[in-house]
Structure 1
Amino acid sequence: MTSNEAAHSPLYLSLLAETAQIGWPELERFFARGILLHVARDLDLVSVAEAIASDDTTQVTQWLASGLLERIQAETAADFAARDPELWAVVVSPWVCVQERG
């Protein structure tokens, strides 16, 4: 275990292990259900998932208010469908958090 991993909670490490690269076609059904959250590149995807799982309402509300976290909009979905970028996702039921990398 690296010193950086030691600083993370068991929940963070569990979510990190569940985070995976995924293509837009596999995410479209979650978008259609309205449960796909877009995480800005500025944020750590796993930290966002941890905040949601821990019900950290204050932090999640700040991200939502600043636009760093939002439900994927139709324009973003169309862009992802057209470009098929490198996406990473983690499930925090009922939500699926997704972030573009690269």
Structure 2
Amino acid sequence: MGISKQYLKTKPVCKVTFTVPAKDAQKVSVIGDFNNWDPSKNELKKLKTGAFKGTLELPKENSFEFKYLIDGTHSNDPEADAYRWNEFAGAENAVLEL
């Protein structure tokens, strides 16, 4: 898994690219507080390599909790900036610092 960040000089946003190696998966989404945890909003595209990839423009100087939803199973990114306990979910969420 991987996260790359590209800060734009002309806009107050950061382009965040999420890459998830999941050859056997049918569907991968990135869900978080930036999209109300809705898996239909940010589905990643499957590449020929078998990885899933997608880019989001998110506002700079913010912190977001997120997870991947891989064929219905939640997963954290090992390259996240931090992890935060979420009482509602009863689990840790990955954190993205921009």
Q: TM-score of the superposition, structure 1-length normalised? A: 0.27
Whichever structure has more helix as a proportion of its residues is 1
Q: TM-score of the superposition, structure 2-length normalised? A: 0.27
